[in-house]
Amino acid sequence: MIIKKDSSDDLLQTDVAIVTWDEKYATGVVLIDNQHKELIELINQLHNACLAGGETVGTTFKEAMSRMVEYVRFHFGTEQELLQRIKFPDIHNHKKQHAALIKSILEAAKDYSNGKKYVPNTFVRTLKDWVLGHIAVYDKAYALYVADQRRKGILGDKL
């Protein structure tokens, strides 16, 4: 957990990160790792939007949520294009996992609009677990494939 203090303000301003980047999430593909770092940042923003409380939580959460959906789509697009290019054998299943996450995000957003106020807090935690779980299992699987192809000289260092 990171707590940053804003020195320009006497009141304690806390910016709490529920998740921080760790090298254990690295895929070895720079472009993808940078996007995963951005995803983690967006999860933290979403979490902070939930902490905002009061009347602003609705607007802040919705805004953070649409930034999240937009970025997740962009990231999955990049990843799928890469998997296709490198001819990753399990691409079909990987795409299915991506589609399932997009569906859950959109359902949570809909539940929230329909008045289920518990959604923000529980959803951010679920999302965090899902994203980290996906990186640890599925993204790591293609990372191993990439490393193997590089060893064999089939893929270069730059992808």
Minimum separation from the CB atom of position 28 to Fe ion (A): 13
Nearer Cβ to Fe ion, position 105 or 139?
139
Residues 96-155 contacting Fe ion, CB under 5 A: 139
Q: Looking at beta carbons only, is 64 or 139 nearer to Fe ion?
A: 139
Supply 102's token pair: 């997009």
State the Cα angle at 23 between 81 and 144, rounded to 5°. 45
Looking at beta carbons only, is 120 or 139 nearer to Fe ion?
139
Q: CB burial class (10 A; 0-12, 13-18, 19+) of residue 125?
A: middle
Identify which of 67, 27, 23 has the alpha carbon closest to the alpha carbon of residue 44.
Answer: 67
Q: How far is the CB of 79 from Fe ion (least distance, A)?
A: 5
Q: Which position's Cβ is nearest Fe ion?
A: 139
134-158 burial, b if ≥16 CB within 10 A, otherwise e? Answer: bbeebbbbbbebbeebeeeeebeee
Count of residues interacting with Fe ion (CB under 5 A): 2
For Fe ion, give the closer residue by CB, 34 or 59: 34
Residue whose C-alpha is closest to residue 86's, from 23, 141, 24, 25? 141
State the binding string over 52-91 for Fe ion (x if CB under 5 A, else -). Answer: ---------------------------x------------
Asked if 33 interacts with Fe ion (CB under 5 A), we say no
Positions touching Fe ion (CB under 5 A) are: 79, 139
